[in-house]
């Protein structure tokens, strides 16, 4: 009788093993086997991290094996099992790989196909077409869209982490409990003694050092020492936490009535302001999105204020970016003066602090939350709803949505709930003209490496543009992203459909870059740039000044966050800047969803390019007092998971 050797790999994460009964059935082109209990006497099967082999004897020839059915039945207590893969050795000596990388919960069954990636048009056998269809039908019942807040991209229909499908939950919920992580941060930063001192102001700037963990030669220490300087202020728009807002100013805005006479002491080329604009030496950051926004009312004991500044910057003769004019609200007038470097020291300093605070809010809500977390969640939900596990695009992208829906659900539950805590820019592409924009330079290197990799994968599975256009599952995925994630808005820049291989490669590059590099660029520098509270205040406790010449240092300190809120902020940015214990970085694909040699070779070339980029960035940073390493591939997690 035909005999098969079945090798079963259990995951190595916590609680991955099971004591339940595991049954296996083989479905072949010539028949289906009985179900076989996978069990070895006097042996603890399916332990965490185990690879177990079993001999399965069948009565009749089964032909080509098309599917494997795994059933899990309760033994004693309910537990989940994480099945990595099954390898089948046939009676002819051939090996067939069946990737799984899924949790099997309760008493249930899953049906696996072999690991070769297939488009729907490649499946001609009825049972495989049926399996493909049923998988999506099941997923679409589990992964449902829900409106979290009006105007935001739709999110997963789950109120809390435990409501999520098991396959996209964290391995251990404890590891992403924000309250627990903040508590750890408070202990690590030695700031517990200040935690409950709300409404208690600091005495002066130096007083903030009581909660500032000084580590020699770090960016955060450089920020503490130089935060008041115009050069440090301008540098952060290029290489700080929010390097995506600065634009080249093509025309002075009508609601910023700044003149050459106001700023002539800052202009080094003996030209008028208009001439500097024409030469491309003037840049602008406009925070108009904050205009009219209600302040966060989570703390009824503390008045909090927002501004919507316009900040004009200048590229000096040293090619450094420095501020030359700041207006703190959008409507010009006598009570909305334009602050200048030539003003009194504390007038100018307070204007810059207001800009930094506004930048903090835009960074957290738009750059970080919306444009990385929520957009990546959209990709993840659409992926599971519209692409079966056998689809090459699912296999390519699944590593880049790992834990993304889980971290966002946790955030909605604990961090950004009602009572919780709170494109590359136009004209910035010339490397000779703006030589110190490392976010741009490193980002382009990583972008190109990802684009080359996705183009290779697309070439392997799509023979022509016609195959792309005819891939209905792919089109449904793209449409799900557009209709539900982007709410059908053409202004989002996302297409309703994809018709060519080139456009598909570009689309996949956007998905991977957003989930990996872009998130890394705007997330992991938060402690570096935000730990010195005066550099980026998370809240301001007095309104913006309406006149010049009256600001004192005591007033500035009183405007800044109180001791308690400063500590909460410090704990938050510390926790958000840490990598996960089980972090997977860009180019790492330990789950082998792909089994084909051409794709594995493409992955190897991708990793080699990333290694080269790591070396290039490391060499440049050797000469920098302020190194920029957020886009070094060895510091870019594969997915949004923190």
Q: Are 25 and 4 in contact (CB under 8 A)?
A: no
pLDDT value for 427: 85
pLDDT band of 256, cuts 50, 70, 90: very high
CB of 66 closer than 8 Å to CB of 125: yes
pLDDT of residue 474: 98
Residue 284: phi, psi to the nearest 5? -140, 145
Region 330-355: mean pLDDT is: 97
Percent of the chain clearing pLDDT 70 (strictly above): 89
**What is the structure's pLDDT at 305?**
93
* Lowest-confidence segment of 161-175, 219-233, 343-357 by average pLDDT: 161-175
- Are 200 and 562 in contact, with CB atoms under 8 Å apart? yes
For residue 139, the surrounding DSSP H or E stretch is helix 126-142
Q: What is the pLDDT of residue 351?
A: 98
Residue 189 CA to residue 182 CA, distance in Å, equals: 10
Average pLDDT over residues 523-538: 94
Least confident of 305-319, 364-378, 565-579: 565-579
pLDDT in tens, 454-483: 999 999 999 999 999 999 999 999 999 999
Of the two residues 563 and 504, the one the predictor is more confident about is 504
Q: With a cut of 60, say whether residue 412 has pLDDT above it.
A: no
Give the pLDDT confidence score for residue 222 in this predicted structure: 93
Six-digit token string for 85: 């893969």
Is residue 524 within 8 Å of 577, Cβ to Cβ? yes
Torsion of CA 234, 238, 243, 245, to 10 degrees: 60
What mean pLDDT do residues 365-377 have? 88
Would you state the pLDDT for residue 404?
Answer: 74
Q: Residue range 203-208: average pLDDT? A: 73
Q: What is the DSSP string of 183-244?
A: HHHHHHHT-GGGTT-TT---SSGGGGGGG----TT-HHHHHHHHTTSHHHHHHHHHHSS-TT
Higher pLDDT, 284 or 639: 284
pLDDT at 406 over 90: no
Over 60: is that where the pLDDT of 215 sits? no
Stretch among 38-42, 175-179, 572-576 having the lowest mean pLDDT: 175-179
Task: Specify the pLDDT at position 167.
Answer: 77
Write down how long the chain is: 642
| Look-up of token digits 């976010």 | 439
What six digits make up the tokens of 345? 């020291």
425 pLDDT tier (thresholds 50, 70, 90):
very low
| 192 band by pLDDT with thresholds 50, 70 and 90 | low
pLDDT at 641: 79
Of the ranges 119-133, 233-247, 564-578, which one carries the lowest mean pLDDT score? 564-578
- Of residues 167 and 633, the one with the higher pLDDT is 633
Segment 398-419 mean pLDDT: 61
pLDDT above 50: residue 174: no
Give the residue with greater pLDDT, 77 vs 387: 387
Strand, coil or helix: 56: strand
The predicted structure's pLDDT at residue 228: 97
According to the model, what pLDDT value does residue 416 have?
Answer: 41
Q: Determine the pLDDT at residue 189.
A: 54
- The pLDDT score that the predictor gives to residue 408 is 59
Average predicted confidence (pLDDT) for the chain: 89
Q: Percent of the chain, pLDDT > 90?
A: 71
Predicted confidence band at 216 (pLDDT cuts at 50, 70, 90)? low
Residue 173: its pLDDT value, please?
43
In the prediction, which pLDDT does 195 show? 47
190 φ/ψ sector (left φ>0, alpha ψ -120 to 50, else beta): left
pLDDT of residue 566: 82
- Confidence bin at 26 (pLDDT 50/70/90): very high
Q: What is the pLDDT of residue 422?
A: 29
> Cα 371–237–616 angle (5° rounding)?
85
Helix, strand, coil % over all residues of the chain, rounded to 5: 45, 15, 45
Buried b (16+ CB within 10 A) or exposed e, 288-301: eebeeeeeeeebee
Reported confidence tier of residue 419, pLDDT bands at 50, 70, 90: very low
């Amino acid at each position: 009788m035909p005999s098969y050797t079945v090798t079963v790999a259990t995951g190595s994460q916590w609680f991955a093993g099971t004591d339940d009964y595991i049954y296996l059935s083989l479905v072949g082109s010539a028949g289906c086997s009985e179900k076989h209990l996978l069990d070895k006497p006097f042996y603890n099967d399916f332990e965490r991290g185990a690879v177990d082999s079993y001999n399965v004897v069948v009565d009749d020839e089964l032909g080509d094996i098309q599917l494997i059915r795994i059933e899990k039945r309760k033994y004693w207590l309910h537990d989940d099992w994480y099945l990595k893969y099954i390898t089948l050795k046939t009676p002819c000596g051939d090996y067939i790989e069946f990737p799984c990388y899924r949790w099997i919960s309760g008493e249930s069954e899953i049906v696996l196909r072999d690991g070769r990636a297939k488009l729907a048009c490649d499946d001609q056998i009825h049972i495989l077409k049926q399996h493909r269809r049923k998988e999506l039908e099941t997923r679409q019942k589990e992964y449902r869209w829900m409106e979290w807040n009006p105007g935001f991209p739709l999110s997963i229909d789950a109120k809390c982490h435990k409501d999520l499908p098991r396959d996209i939950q964290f391995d251990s919920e404890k590891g992403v409990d924000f309250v627990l992580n903040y508590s750890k941060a408070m202990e690590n930063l030695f700031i517990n003694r200040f935690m409950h001192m709300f409404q208690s102001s600091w005495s002066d700037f130096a007083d903030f050092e009581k909660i500032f963990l000084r580590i020699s030669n770090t960016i955060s220490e450089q920020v503490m020492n130089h935060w008041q300087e115009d050069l440090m202020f301008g540098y952060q728009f290029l290489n700080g936490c929010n390097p995506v807002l600065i634009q080249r100013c093509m025309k002075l805005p009508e609601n910023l009535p700044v003149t050459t006479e106001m700023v002539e002491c800052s202009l080094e080329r003996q030209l008028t302001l208009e001439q500097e604009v024409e030469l491309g030496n003037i840049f602008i950051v406009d925070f108009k999105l904050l205009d009219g926004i209600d302040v966060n009312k989570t703390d009824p004991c503390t008045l909090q204020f927002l501004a919507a500044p316009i900040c004009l910057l200048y590229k000096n003769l040293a090619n450094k970016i420095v501020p030359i004019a700041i207006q703190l609200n959008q409507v010009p007038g006598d009570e909305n003066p334009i602050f200048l470097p030539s003003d009194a020291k504390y007038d100018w300093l307070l204007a810059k602090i207001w800009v930094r605070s506004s930048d903090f809010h835009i960074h957290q809500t738009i750059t970080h939350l919306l444009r990385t977390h929520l957009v990546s969640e959209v990709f993840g939900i659409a992926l599971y709803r519209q692409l079966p596990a056998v689809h090459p695009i699912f296999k390519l992208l699944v590593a880049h949505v790992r834990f993304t829906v889980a971290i966002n659900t946790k955030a909605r539950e604990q961090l950004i709930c009602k009572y919780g805590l709170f494109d590359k820019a136009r004209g910035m592409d010339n490397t000779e003209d703006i030589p110190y924009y490392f976010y741009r330079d490193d980002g382009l290197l990583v972008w190109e490496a990802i684009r080359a990799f996705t183009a290779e994968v697309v070439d392997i599975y799509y023979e022509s543009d016609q195959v792309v256009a005819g891939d209905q599952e792919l089109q449904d995925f793209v449409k799900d992203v557009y209709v539900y994630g982007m709410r059908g808005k053409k202004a989002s820049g996302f297409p309703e459909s994809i018709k060519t291989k080139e456009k598909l490669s570009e689309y996949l590059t956007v998905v991977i870059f957003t989930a990996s590099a872009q998130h890394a660029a705007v997330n992991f520098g938060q402690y570096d740039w935000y730990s010195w509270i005066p550099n980026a205040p998370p809240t301001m406790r007095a309104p913006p000044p309406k006149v010049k010449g009256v600001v004192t240092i005591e007033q500035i300190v009183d405007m800044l966050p109180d001791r308690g809120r400063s500590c909460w902020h410090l704990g938050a940015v510390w926790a958000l800047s840490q990598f996960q214990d089980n972090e997977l970085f860009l180019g790492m694909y330990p789950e082998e969803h792909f089994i084909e040699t051409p794709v594995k070779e493409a992955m190897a070339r991708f990793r080699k390019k990333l290694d080269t980029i790591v070396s290039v960035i490391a060499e440049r940073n050797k000469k920098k007092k302020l190194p920029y390493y957020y886009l070094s591939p060895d510091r870019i997690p594969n997915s949004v998971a923190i």
